[in-house]
Structure 1
């Protein structure tokens, strides 16, 4: 996480420099406040990544002497072919059609979407 921490620290420093420059040149309070909020968000992520890299062991990606065999293992677990995305699209369509047709159609769409999302996550976790 050392690379990510340096990257996010750079983002934070960039927004500080741009914010101060914008304050001195433009003076628009709205733009300055937005740049300061971006600085704060970048600082939150930078602080989290520095803290995480300090508290946890070094990852394989952080070592300089790593080769491809060190990163082998389970790449990912993917669900089998399913019609759940089609049912999910049907549920979203029913939710959107509920706006002009009536709330009963939206309720049906919400029920379909909720059931398919739950079943899709259950299928993915196994």
Structure 2
């Protein structure tokens, strides 16, 4: 976790240095200057800083992982890595319902957006409660 936090700290420093340089080079203070890139770089600085603070905070409170230790071996990381779900059709149905809603809003067909919203809610509930019933229930 410490390696990841240092990567984001380096990104934060980079964005913090590049943002004022970009503002100066594009002359964003002048009338008609480019504020879009400057504000995007400022947001990237803040987001990278937020992630580095989060990772650094949690890295200081947890035991060192094998990859964080100098004497760590590959075998130290052996064991169960976590739960990996099997295949699922529910994300497909959620994406299709979202595309129907987006298409309906773009065309101004509110009745179609409502139908897509109801079907999307059902698809989302199926995805959320997928492991409570059926073959993969636990």
Q: CA RMSD in A?
A: 3.0
Q: Distance in 2 between matches of 1:35 and 1:101?
A: 35
Cα deviation digits, residues 17-70 of structure 1 (max 9, x gap): 212433554442424444333222221211111111112222233233221462
Match of 1:55 among 61, 71, 80: 61
Match of 2:123 among 103, 110, 116: 116
Maintained 8 Å contact 2:15/2:45? yes
How many aligned positions are there?
A: 125
Q: Larger % of helix: which?
A: 1
1:72 equivalent in alignment to 2:79? yes
Report 1:83-94 matches (<5 A): 84-85=90-91, 87-88=93-94, 90-92=96-98, 94=100
Cα deviation digits, residues 92-123 of structure 1 (max 9, x gap): 45434544473222211111111111111211
TM-score, scaled to structure 1: 0.73
Q: Distance in 2 between matches of 1:87 and 1:23?
A: 44
Maintained 8 Å contact 2:5/2:56? yes
TM-score, scaled to structure 2: 0.68
Match of 1:37 among 26, 33, 43: 43
Task: Tell me which residue corresponds to 1:5.
Answer: 5
Give ranges in structure 1 of 5+ residues lacking alignment. Answer: none
Maintained 8 Å contact 1:77/1:124? no
Give ranges in structure 2 of 5+ residues lacking alignment. Answer: 30-34
